[in-house]
Amino acid sequence: MARAIEVEQVTKRYRLGERADAYATLRATIARAFTPSPAPHREIYALRDVDLAVDEGEAVGVIGRNGAGKSTLLKILCRITAPTSGASRTRGRVGPLLEVGTGFHPELTGRENVYLNGTILGMSRRDIDRRFDDIVGFADVDRFLDTPLKRYSSGMYLRLAFAVAAHLDPEILVVDEVLAVGDAEFQEKCLGRMSSFRREGRTVVFVSHDLGAIGRLCERVVWLERGSVEADGPTRPVLDGYLRSVAPRSTRVDFAVEPERPVQLLSAFRTDESGVERDVVRRDEAMTLHFRFVARRPIPGLDVGVRLVSDDGVVVLDENLSDVEAERLGDSGEYEAAITVPPVLPAGTYVAHAWIGASSAGGLWRVFVDREALTVRLWPAASDGPESIARRRLVQPAVQWSVRPLGLEETRAGA
Partner 1 sequence: MSRTTPERVQPDASRGVLVRPRKKARGVGWIENRPPGRIAGVHPRDLWAYRDLALFLALRDLQVRYKQTIFGVAWAVIQPLAGVAIFTFVFGRLVNVPSDGLPYPLFVYVGMIVWIYLSTAVNEAAQSLTEKSALVTKIYFPRILAPFAAALPGLVDLGISMVILGGFMAFYGIVPGVSALLFPAFVFALALVATGAGVWLAALNVQYRDVRYALPFLVQVWLFLSPVVYPTSLVDGAARYVFALNPLVGVIDGARWALLGAPPPGAAALVSLATGTALLVTGIVYFQRVERRFADVV
Judged by the rule CB under 8 A, the positions of this chain that interact with partner 1 are 1-3, 6, 14, 18-19, 22-27, 29, 53, 55, 75-92, 94, 96, 98-99, 102-103, 105, 107-108, 112, 115-116, 119-121, 124-125, 148, 219-220, 233-236, 387, 390-391
Which is closer to partner 1, CB of 103 or CB of 212?
A: 103
Which is closer to partner 1, CB of 15 or CB of 371?
A: 15
Least distance CB 239 / partner 1 (angstroms): 13
Least distance CB 393 / partner 1 (angstroms): 11
Least distance CB 327 / partner 1 (angstroms): 44
Q: Are 215 and 227 in contact (CB under 8 A)?
A: no
Which is closer to partner 1, CB of 252 or CB of 392?
A: 392
CA dihedral 49, 52, 53, 56 (to 10 degrees): -140
Least distance CB 101 / partner 1 (angstroms): 10
Least distance CB 113 / partner 1 (angstroms): 9
3-state secondary structure of 211: helix
3-state secondary structure of 125: helix
Give strand pairing partners of 223: 63, 231
Which is closer to partner 1, CB of 92 or CB of 212?
A: 92
Distance CA 204, CA 58 (A): 6
Least distance CB 335 / partner 1 (angstroms): 44
DSSP string across 312-350: TS-EEEEEEHHHH-S--B-SSEEEEEEEEEPS-SPSEEE
Which is closer to partner 1, CB of 12 or CB of 189?
A: 12
Total number of residues shown for the chain: 415
**69 exposed, middle or buried (CB, 10 Å; 0-12, 13-18, 19+)?**
buried
Least distance CB 279 / partner 1 (angstroms): 28
Which is closer to partner 1, CB of 108 or CB of 317?
A: 108
Tally of CA atoms within 13 A in the half-sphere of 372 that contains its CB = 10
Q: Are 61 and 237 in contact (CB under 8 A)?
A: no
Distance CA 371, CA 385 (A): 35
Q: Are 211 and 243 in contact (CB under 8 A)?
A: yes
Q: What are phi and psi of 404, to 5 degrees?
A: -130, 140
Which is closer to partner 1, CB of 99 or CB of 285?
A: 99
Distance CA 70, CA 73 (A): 5
Which is closer to partner 1, CB of 53 or CB of 351?
A: 53
Least distance CB 207 / partner 1 (angstroms): 14
Which is closer to partner 1, CB of 107 or CB of 260?
A: 107
Least distance CB 303 / partner 1 (angstroms): 40
Distance CA 356, CA 354 (A): 7
Q: Alpha-carbon Rg of the chain, whole angstroms?
A: 27
